[in-house]
Amino acid sequence: MDIGIIGGSGYTGGELLRLLSQHPEAKVMAVTSRSMKGQKVSNTHTHLRKIYDLIFEDLTPDEVASRSDIVFTAVPHGTAMQVVPALLDNGVKVIDLSADYRLKTDVFEKTYKMKHIDPRDAVYGIPELHPEVAEQKFIANPGCYPTGASLAAAPLADAGLIERVVFDSKSGISGAGAEPTLVSHYPNMAENIQAYKLTSHRHRAEIVQELTRLDSGLKSISFTPHVIPSVRGILTTAHIFVKKELNEEDVSEIYRDFYQDKPFIRLIQGIPMLGSVRGSNFCDIGFEIEKNSDRIVVISAIDNLVKGASGQAIQNMNLMFGLSETTGLWTPALAP
């Protein structure tokens, strides 16, 4: 497969390149960046020295499409909708890593406070929840928080058992991007933890969309994100209040059945942690049932740049091309 990447200078672009270098069927043919035009890709992504000889180019969507079987758009929201139509018109497959096509158009416009110039349906690319990914030409790749949150709660939502859920998520700071900011300034982030957008993070809309798709009666879905002094990873603590009493075997069975034959989901006995998934496409899930209470705590751990972004995009690509979804992605985490 010939691959094009639009927007290759950020973290998700770099991560696509890193992961695709290990993919036996993929060859990157074009990487665009307006600001880095003419420079070596490995000047920006120094970890890719000797791995790629590519140069960042400033190309039109048509030019990228002409070299590619599939194009990944790793650009900010609002920008993707400007290039996706031309790519699709060229007949190439497209996976959009931005937020532009993840939500119903009206929800998108309300959430992102902008007009959508290319209203269009797209399958939401969490393959474990959307097997129809395999038949698509166009995929909206999910947000990082919604991936961790939805995978943690989906089995219980699907079983209609959730009364109320509070997602308290803790993300590595790479999720905020490659541009230095006051929050990502080392002296501010180190030895700290920063809660933000306590009740209004835009990713909540994706979580609501996914969980109410599974259980239309689910009304109370709360989400509060934090950044922690880690580079990668999202740990989601899902405080789930259930409608009826469940024991450990009940819950285990619900999760086992729901995630049967899903290679990247690892249901574990203990408590998931970022250290077990760093750099990999796995999502580890564990849980504990509170005694004398209607609360179940489900924990999921993902790498925000892999399962939460570029790895999941390649998983989607594999399925869209009829490959095994693990092709090029069956690599363990880096630990310690």
Q: Is 55 in the site for a copy of itself (CB under 8 A)?
A: no
List 36, 41, 92, 144, catalytic entry? 144
Q: Is 38 in the site for a copy of itself (CB under 8 A)?
A: no
Q: Is 76 in the site for a copy of itself (CB under 8 A)?
A: no
By CB under 8 A, the count of residues binding a copy of itself is 82
Q: Which window, 65-73, 85-93, 149-157, 271-279, contacts a copy of itself (CB under 8 A)?
A: 271-279
Of residues 164-183, which lie at the interface with a copy of itself (CB under 8 A)? 166, 168, 170, 172-174, 178-182
Q: Which helix (H) or strand (E) holds 48?
A: none
CA distance 191 to 328: 36
Of residues 294-323, which lie at the interface with a copy of itself (CB under 8 A)? 295, 297, 299
Q: Is 26 in the site for a copy of itself (CB under 8 A)?
A: no
Three-state DSSP at 262 gives coil
Which among 66, 117, 88, 83 has a CA at the least distance from the CA of 6? 83
Least distance between a copy of itself and beta carbon 252 (Å) = 15
Q: Is 252 in the site for a copy of itself (CB under 8 A)?
A: no
Which among 202, 222, 182, 226 has a CA at the least distance from the CA of 77? 202
Cβ count within 10 A of residue 16: 29
Q: Which helix (H) or strand (E) holds 235?
A: strand 234-242
Strand partners, 224: 168
Q: Which of 53, 89, 104, 192 binds a copy of itself (CB under 8 A)?
A: 192
**Residue 187: which residues within 8 A CB-CB, separation 6 or more?**
none
Least distance between a copy of itself and beta carbon 170 (Å) = 5
Least distance between a copy of itself and beta carbon 102 (Å) = 21
Alpha carbon distances (Å) from 169 to 196, 202, 221, 266, 308: 11, 14, 13, 19, 13
Least distance between a copy of itself and beta carbon 99 (Å) = 20
Q: Which window, 40-48, 91-99, 107-115, 120-128, contacts a copy of itself (CB under 8 A)?
A: 40-48
User: Is residue 144 annotated as part of the catalytic site, yes or no?
Assistant: yes
Cβ closest to a copy of itself, residue 60 vs residue 181: 181
Q: Using only the alpha carbons of the chain, give its radius of gyration.
A: 19
Least distance between a copy of itself and beta carbon 122 (Å) = 27
Q: Is 280 in the site for a copy of itself (CB under 8 A)?
A: yes
Q: Is 230 in the site for a copy of itself (CB under 8 A)?
A: yes
Three-state DSSP at 332 gives coil
Q: Angle at CA 133, nearest 5°, toward 221 and 10?
A: 75
Q: Which residues are catalytic?
A: 144
